Structure formats: C-alpha cells, structure tokens
A = this chain, B = another copy of it.
Amino acid sequence: MTESNNDRLLRALLREPVDATPVWIMRQAGRYLPEYRATRRRAGSFLNLCKTPELACEVTLQPLARFPLDAAILFSDILTIPDAMGLGLHFVHGEGPSFERPLRDATSIRRLSVPDPEEELGYVMAAVRLVRRELMGRIPLIGFSGSPWTLAAYMVEGHGSDTFAKVKGLLYDQPEILRQLLNVLSGSVAAYLNAQIDAGAQAVMIFDTWGGVLSPSAYREFSLEPMQRVIEQLTRLSDRRRVPVILFTKGGGAWLEAMAETGCDAVGLDWTVGLDEARRRVGNRVTLQGNLDPCALYSRPDRIKQAVGEILAQFGHGSGHVFNLGHGIHPDVDPAHVGVLVDAVHALSRQYHASS
C-alpha cells in the first residue's frame, strides 16, 4: 500500500496543520446518487450490495469520481455484526433494517458469541482491501461500526423505534442482562474494527446512532462505557501511522466532555450543538467532526456557501476540524449541491489555515 497523497483527513483528525479543512459526508455513497441507485438495482437487494465486495467497492468509489472529497468511507451497513451473530438482517422497503430473529429473552442473549471477522464478516474485509487497492493512496479510507448500544437497541427491538421501549425496558428492569449483551458486543465491535484496520482502514468511526435517547447516567453506563472498552482494544498503529478513532453519538451534545475522555481522537457532532461551543468545551483535546444540518443542502447554492462559511467561522482558525454533515445526507438532495458544499469547504477554509 502506498502512502496517501491527500492526507488532510488523517492530519486534521490528529490536530496536525493542514492547508484546508478536509471534508467528507456521511452516506456520501448513497441513494442521492443516480449511479448508486443503478448499482443497487443491479445488486438486486441492499443486503446483496453490502455483501458483494466488488459492488460495495464500486459504490464506495462513486462519490469520489464526482467530488474532491478528502476521504472514502467503506460502503456497508451498521448491522453486519448482529447479522453475523445469526439474527437474520433484512430490509423492508421504506421501513429500514429489521431482524428476523430479534433478541427476546435472556437465553438468546447468553447464546451469543463474538463473530470471527475474517470468517463471518469476510465480505467486509474483502471490500476494504478492494477499495484500498483502487484508491491507490489518493485519499484515506474510513472503516466503521455501529456502537455496542446502537447494535443492542436494534437487536432487542428487532428494528428502528421511536421509543426503544423493549431495550429500555430491559435497561430499567433487567440491567444485568443488557450488560451481558453489551459485553459480547464490545468484544465484537473491537474485533470487527481491528479486522478492518488490518485490511487497510486508515481511520475508524463508531456510530452511536441511538445513544442520544438515554438519560445522562444510562448513557454513561450503557453507551459510552462499552464504546470506551472498544477503543481500548483497538489497534492504533498501522503502516507506521496512527489510526484515528472518531466517536459519534447522535444527540450527544451534552456529553462531549465525557466522549473526549474515552481515548478517541475525534468527536462527531450533529447540528444541534454549535462548533464554537464544542471547541471551547473539548477542542483542546479532540478534533471535531461536523456539523451542517443535512437539510441545509435543500437550499440554493449561495445559501449553501453561506451556511458552510458560518460553520467554518464557528470553528475558527487552526486545525482540528473535519467538515461533515451532522447526520447522513438525505436521499432526495441534488448531487450538484454536494459539489457546491465540498468546493465551498475547501475554498472558504484556507483563510483559517493560512498561518499554520
């Protein structure tokens, strides 16, 4: 593997000087791109797209052909681990992910074991290797996993939820059972991310999509602490370079200080917390990633540029910021607007790095 040519992302994640703020977009390989929809049709199903390394590689690369993004992120699903554990992941059209065999009792939780990533999730590692080969070091590749709590929430509910009544019922009534589940998931996420790093991922991100539905004390115990255990087990050096870890709890703006203490290198922010405030609170310890409201991409180009300028100004001078949306891009966004955003980040951010 060759050294990255554009390593802005890796430098910014470690708060090293950069010439411009790096930018990538959550779900940048996704439904807003017609070429993605074409590959998705060819794949037959979303799951087949995830599980066929050549197709996963193809869609991973698609946005890079359109936009000068500073990172690739592996195309995959956050629920591959529970699928490998035998829960039977499938996708109902218009309703998101669902499990055929959700966890409904202590016995089924006790039966779970850590999947071997190279055996049972080999299709993910094959995709990582393919993408790295295709990228030829031009930009870094980010690997990822769902957080233990987020995986547990889906596994117990069986699907997404507005209330998370089942998994939170477990949390409040039988916390010891939930702890068992989070233990096996922490081990699984660590093994899975380490396998991605071994296969070539140059940074990894933990998506804690549902940590924000918890109370402060429940967040610490059932979401943050398992993530910290994952981070402690990660391979942090690959190709003689540090592998940065990004931690993202959607709706976690109140807990940035605690997130910054887990050993991660960067904290992802949704759009409900200001970058200025976030930098004041934790910017001397971690890089901040985010945080434009994905809905801002519905507006006309001059307003998008203005919104990008406001986010950059909120962070201010110096390194330690990776531009992103605060959540995944919406499927009905005009792809041209993504181009406007990426160009605006690069053009408007140079002034903040001039003296570094």
Contact = CB atoms under 8 A, between A and B. Distances in A.
Contact of A168 (B212, B219, B298, B332): B298
Interface in A148-175: 163-165, 168-169, 171-173
A19 interface: no
A165 B251 CA distance: 18
Contact of A274 (B163, B164, B216, B299): B216
Interface stretch (A51-59, A189-197, A234-242, A288-296): A288-296
A214 interface: yes
A300 interface: yes
B254 A254 contact: yes
Given A165-B332, A254-B253, A214 B272 contact: yes
Contacts of A169: 295, 298-299
A330 interface: yes
Copies of this protein chain in the complex:
2
Given A163-B295, A295-B164, A212 B272 contact: yes
Which bracket fits the contact residues of A? 35 or more
Interface of A is mostly: helix
Contact of A171 (B172, B215, B295): B295
A282 interface: no
Interface string A239-260: 0000000000001011000000
B298 A172 contact: yes
6 contacts: A171-B295, A173-B303, A214-B272, A214-B293, A215-B293, A218-B293
